[in-house]
Amino acid sequence: MKQLVKLFVLLLAASLLMAACAPTTPAEPNEVEVEVTKIVKETVVVPAQDDASEPAGEKLVVYMQMGGQQGDPSTLARTNGAKAAAEALGIELIEQYSGWDSQVMIDQFKEAIAANPDGIVIMGHPGEDAMGSLVDQAREMGIIVTSNNNPLPNIEAKYQKDGFGYAGADLYAGGYLTGTTMVAAGLQPGDEALVYDIWHQEGRSQSSQGVYDALEDAGLVVEKLDVTDDVDKDASLAIPILTAYIAAHPNLKAIGTQHGNITSTLPKVLEAANMAPGDIIIGGIDLSPATKDGIETGYISASFDQVLYLQGYFPVQQIWLTKNYLIPGLHINTGVGTFTPENLGDVAPLIEKGIR
């Protein structure tokens, strides 16, 4: 609009100058006409040639909670997706890694608000009670907030018109799908199964509850085992815990989880317990290189694909769309299916690149 006003003023000035200087008979353009033509050409902006990724104004700054540790199997693809969106849209991206610690997520949210950026992408693991007042504070400051990986449905409903959306799986449905795929891999009614996950976090445990219900609905005898905060941060600590559990339950036929780093560790658990591929049906989540190898060798029967790359890309894009075009928050279900030894196929190279 400013360019159009400037152009209008220049054209008006040009017409007045040319009228004042116009000869009574046709002649070559005078110096005033040449100079005005030059100014107009330099001023005109053709919309079709505008860089759509950099609208008028300063570069946007976005803080984003990524989840675990930088580069870990449950975080890398999300980070790569966020970086790709930031590069495409001309956004300065500030990455935050919490080791999946809810208190760290809360502290990082506070730090991001204090920096007063254009947007903040949060995760819902701390819960709505912990995050609600902070979202209120950010919105009062005019900061756009959206979420990924773990939903905050009430906050989303409250601020959807202001750009608060969600990019991630339907947690319960994803877990249930994992469980049914495990059953299809060869489990029978009466078989013993374990669901090893973070049961002490109400929101996050929805996915593991889905696995549990699917196995129980199929007639299996299912037990829950809670993942401690230490194991949540370092999944290798699960190896002695699960090998001891297997030794104490010789009839165990299945282990399910919706923890990506634990999923990638489960083949090592079975090897440590002297189990061959298929002796215990494994169902997990995400597609790290180690998980890919576990699927290809038959140690992992199914892994839920929540497409972490999109959980990084879409929230960054959401903030850009809301900031520039007032687009409300979009609720995007990124959970599209499960991978098994039969359908891993062409996706495998993309896993190695940290995209899938």
Strand stretches in the chain, DSSP E: 61-67, 92-97, 119-123, 144-148, 166-168, 192-197, 221-226, 252-256, 281-285, 302-305, 331-333, 337-339
Structural domains of the chain, with CATH: 2-49 (no CATH), 61-169+308-335 (3.40.50.2300), 171-305 (3.40.50.2300)
95, HSE (Cβ side, Cα atoms, 13 Å) = 20
How many other CB atoms are there within 10 angstroms of residue 333's CB atom? 15
For 289, the token pair is 């290189």
351: Cβ contacts below 8 Å, ≥ 6 apart: 287, 288, 289, 291, 292
How many other CB atoms are there within 10 angstroms of residue 48's CB atom? 4
Structure tokens at 110: 């506070």
Half-sphere exposure of 147 (CA within 13 A, CB side): 28
Task: Give yes or no for a contact between 256 and 209, defined as CB atoms under 8 angstroms apart.
Answer: no
Buried b (16+ CB within 10 A) or exposed e, 243-275: bebbeeeeebbbbbbbbbbbbbbbbbbbeebeb
Q: What pLDDT, on a 0 to 100 scale, did the predictor assign at position 57? A: 58
Confidence (pLDDT) at 119: 98
Give the distance from CA 328 to its chain's centroid. 18
In sequence order, the β-bridge partners of residue 64 are 95, 121
Q: What is the pLDDT of residue 278?
A: 94
Please state whether beta strands 302-305 and 337-339 pair in parallel, antiparallel, or not at all (unpaired). Answer: antiparallel
C-alpha span between 115 and 57 (Å, rounded)? 19
- Alpha-carbon span 36 to 3, nearest angstrom: 16
DSSP string, 103-156: HHHHHHHHHHHHH--SEEEEESTT-HHHHHHHHHHHHHTT-EEEEESS--HHHH
Task: For the chain of 356 residues, list the mean pLDDT of each consecutive stretch of 10.
Answer: 40 38 38 38 38 60 96 92 98 96 96 98 96 98 97 98 98 97 97 97 90 98 96 95 98 97 96 96 94 96 96 98 98 94 89 90
Give the whole-angstrom CA distance, residue 173 versus residue 180.
11
Judged by phi (left if over 0) then psi (alpha if -120 to 50, else beta), residue 27 lies in beta
* Tally of CB atoms within 10 A around 325: 8
Q: pLDDT value at position 305?
A: 94
Instruction: Choose among 163, 194, 325, 204: nearest CA to 266.
Output: 194
